[in-house]
Amino acid sequence: MIINSRFFNRSELMGFVALAAVLFVILPLTLDVFRLNLVAKYLTYAFVALGLVLCWGYGGILSLGQGVFFGLGGYCMAMFLKLEASSVENTKIQSTPGIPDFMDWNQITSLPLFWQPFHSLTFTILAIVLVPGLFALIIGTAMFKRRVGGTYFAIITQAVAAILTILIVGQQGYTGGINGMTDLRTLKGWDIRPDHAKIILYFVEVVLLFACIGIAQFIRLTKLGRILVAMREQEDRVRFSGYSVANFKIFAFCMAAVFAAIGGAMFALNVGFMSPSFVGIVPSIEMVIYTAVGGRMSIFGAIWGAILVNFAKTSLSESFPQLWLFGLGALFIAVVLAFPNGLSGLWGDYVQPRIDRLFASRKSKAGWKDNSVADGAPAE
Amino acid sequence: MFGDYSLGDLGSIFVMQGFAGLILFSVYVLMALGLAIIFGQMGVINMAHGEFMILGAYVTWMTSNLFQTYMPGLFGGYFFLAMILAFLASGALGMVVEWVLIRHLYKRPLDTLLATWGLSLMLQQAYRSVFGAREVGVELPQWMLGSLHVTDSIEVPINGVFVMCLTVLITVGVAYVLYMSRWGRQVRAVVQNRIMAGAVGINTEKVDRYTFGLGCGIAGVAGSAFTMIGSTGPTSGQLYIVDTFLVVVFGGAASLIGTIASAFSISQTQSTLEFFMSGSMAKVLTLLAVVGILMLRPQGLFALKVRK
C-alpha cells in the first residue's frame, strides 16, 4: 500500500518519462514537419484511447460511440474556425457573403441560430467540453439508471454513432455534409497552416495530453478509481455495499466523452478539417481497437497503441493498401484471442520482470530488499 | 403537400409505400432471424453477420453466371439452387469461424464483438480481392420481372412478392426447428443453462457449432434474397449490421416473435416517413425512436422471462 500512496509507482514513472522523452524531445528533433503533423493526428486518437481506458478498461463499459464525442468536439472547433475563415472579405464572391461556403452552395441565406455563438472563442472552448459532456450525461443517465449495460450499451452507442453520421451527412446546408468542414485557416487571426504553427500546435497538444494523463492517473489512484474497478469485477457487490453504481458509470462515461472531445478539437486544429468520416461506426470501433492493442488497463499502453496502430496504418496503407485491412482484422482477432491485455500486458509479462530483476539485484547488493516483482508489474 | 393527389391516388400511394415497407421488412426479418439465433440465443455479438449475408449474395451471383453460361435452359430455376448453395456456404463458413474463433469467447461477449469485427474487415477485403470493388447485380429470370396489377393504380413487383413468400417460409421453418424439433430443444437448453445441459448428456460444443452455423446459413439465404432487390458490393453488409442489431435488440433478444414485430414496426415507420421527408431524415427519426424506446424499455418489446 505504501507504493500506492505515490502518484506514480516505479514502472509508471518509467512509462511517463519514456513517453515524455519521445513526445517532447525525440520526435520533434527527428521528424520533419509533415511527419510531426501526422504524429499530432495520431495523438488526437490517444485522447480517445485515454478516455476508453477509464471507461472500458477500469469501468468495464464498452462504448462503441466514442466517434460521436470526438466528432462533437471536432465540429465545435471546426465551426469556430470555419466562421473565422468565412469573414465577409473572404467570401465576397458568394451570393450571401459572411456565411460558410457550403451554406451558400445549399441556398441558405443567413447564419443558422445554433451557429451564432461560435463566433466567440470562449464559448467554443466551453462547448467543446460541455456539449459532448452533457450529451454523454444524457445517454449515460438514460442507460445506466435503468441498468442497461454490457452488450446492449455497446449496440445502442453504436446506433447513436450511426444516427449522428446520417444526420451530419443529410443536413448538408448546416454541417457541410459528407465533405465536412474544410478550408479552416486561422485561429483568432493566427494562421494555423504554416509549418511553425503546426509545431506549436503539436506541443500544445502534447501538453494537453499530459494534463489528461495526469487527470486519468489521479482518478485511477483515488477511491473513485478503485470503485470503478470493483464495479467492473462485481457490480452487484458494489451496489450492495451502498454505492450508486449508475452514478459512477455515468461519471466514467462522461470523462471518456470529454477526453474524446478534446482529441476531436485538437484534430480539427492540427489537420485543418473535420468530416463525418471520423464520427461513424467504423472510426468508433477503430478507436476501441487502438485501446485494446495498447492495453485497455494501461494509460500509457493505450497511448502507445493509438500511436503505433495509426503509424502502422499510414505506412501499410501507403505501400500495401490491400494488406492493411487483412492486417487490421488479424490484429483485432489476435488481440482478443492471444493477448487481451494488449501491448502493455506483453510488456508487463516479459519485459518488466527483467527490468525489475535488474533493479532488485542492485538493491540487494545495497542490502535493501523488496518484493519488487509484485508491486512493479501490477496486473493493471 | 397532398393537394396534387386525388383521394384514390393517395390511397394507392400509401398501399405501395406500405408494400415497399413490407419488402424492407422481409430483408430485415431474414437478416435478423440469423442474428436472433446467434445474438439472442447464444449471446454472441456477431459483427460479421452482414459479411455472411454478402457471401450468400456472391454465391447467388456466381450461380446465376454459371447457369447463364452453361445451362441457359434452366436459368428460370437457378434461384432455388443458389439459395441452397448460399445456405451451405455461409453455414459452413460459420461453423469454421465458430470452431476457430467464437468457442474461445463464450464467456467474454464484448470481446466477440471486437473479434468478429476484425473478421468482418478481413472478409470484406477478401471479397474485394476476389470479386472486385464494384457492386455486382444478378440477372433475374424472366418470370420474376414485371409487376402484378392489383388495381388500375396499384401495382406490386413480383420479385418483392417472392421475397416475402420466402421470408414467411424461412421464418416458419426456423420457428419449427427451434421450438418443435429435438435439436431446437437442445439449443434452448444449452442457452438457458450450459452446465446443466451438459450434465444431462447434451453435447454442448456440437450444439453451439451447429447453432452458429444455422444462424450464418440463414444470413446466407438473406443475402441470396437480397440480390433480387439490390446490388451487392464488398461493404454492403456493413450498411445493414447496425439496423439488424437494433431490430433484434428492439424486439427483445431471445424472442422470435419480438424480432418479427420489431422488424415490421421499424421498416413500416421508415418507409412511411420516407414519403414525407428525405430518406436520411426518415432513417434518423426511425433510429431515434428505436433508441428512445429502448431507453424507456431496455428489455425490448417482447422480453422472455428467464431466471438468470
Q: Do B242 and A167 touch (CB under 8 A)?
A: no
**C-beta separation of A150 from B230 below 8 A:** no
Q: Which residues of B touch A159 (CB under 8 A)?
A: 242, 245-246, 287, 290-291
Q: Which three cell numbers stand for residue A2?
A: 505504501
Average pLDDT value for residue range A361-377: 49
Prediction pTM value: 0.85
The pLDDT value given to residue B30: 86
| pLDDT (0 to 100) of residue B132 | 82
Q: Higher confidence at residue A104 or residue A130?
A: A130
For A45, other C-beta atoms within 10 Å of its C-beta total 28
The predicted structure's pLDDT at residue B88: 94
Provide the mean pLDDT of chain A.
Answer: 85
Compute the count of residue pairs across chains A and B with CB atoms less than 8 Å apart.
113
Q: Low-confidence residues of chain B, pLDDT below 50? A: 307-308
* Residue A369 clears pLDDT 70, i.e. is over it: no
Q: What is the pLDDT of residue A136?
A: 95
The pLDDT assigned to B150 comes to 67
pLDDT of residue A5: 55
Sign of CA dihedral B162, B165, B171, B177: negative
* Contact check, Cβ <8 Å, A155/B101: no
Q: Please check whether residue B81 touches A, CB under 8 A.
A: no
| A158/B242 touch (CB, cutoff 8 Å), yes or no | yes
Dist. CA B33–CA B46, nearest whole Å: 13
* pLDDT tens, position by position, A227-246: 999 988 888 899 998 898 99
- Contact state of A151 with B43 under an 8 Å Cβ cutoff: yes
Cβ distance of A166 and B284 shorter than 8 Å: yes
Q: How confident is the model at residue A365 (pLDDT cuts 50, 70, 90)?
A: low
Percent of chain A with pLDDT over 90: 30
Percentage of the residues of chain A whose pLDDT score is greater than 70: 93
Q: Which residues of chain A have a CB within 8 Å of the CB of B291?
A: 156, 159-160, 163
Give residue A13's pLDDT.
82
Smallest Cα distance from A115 to chain B, Å = 21
Position B70 scores a pLDDT of 83
Under the banding of pLDDT at 50, 70 and 90, the label for residue A364 is low
CB under 8 A, 24+ apart: contacts of B287-291? B287/A159, B287/A162, B287/A163, B287/A166, B287/B246, B288/A163, B290/A159, B290/B246, B290/B250, B290/B266, B291/A156, B291/A159, B291/A160, B291/A163, B291/B246
Q: Taking the CA atoms of A314, A317, A323 and A325 in sequence, report the sign of the dihedral they define.
A: positive
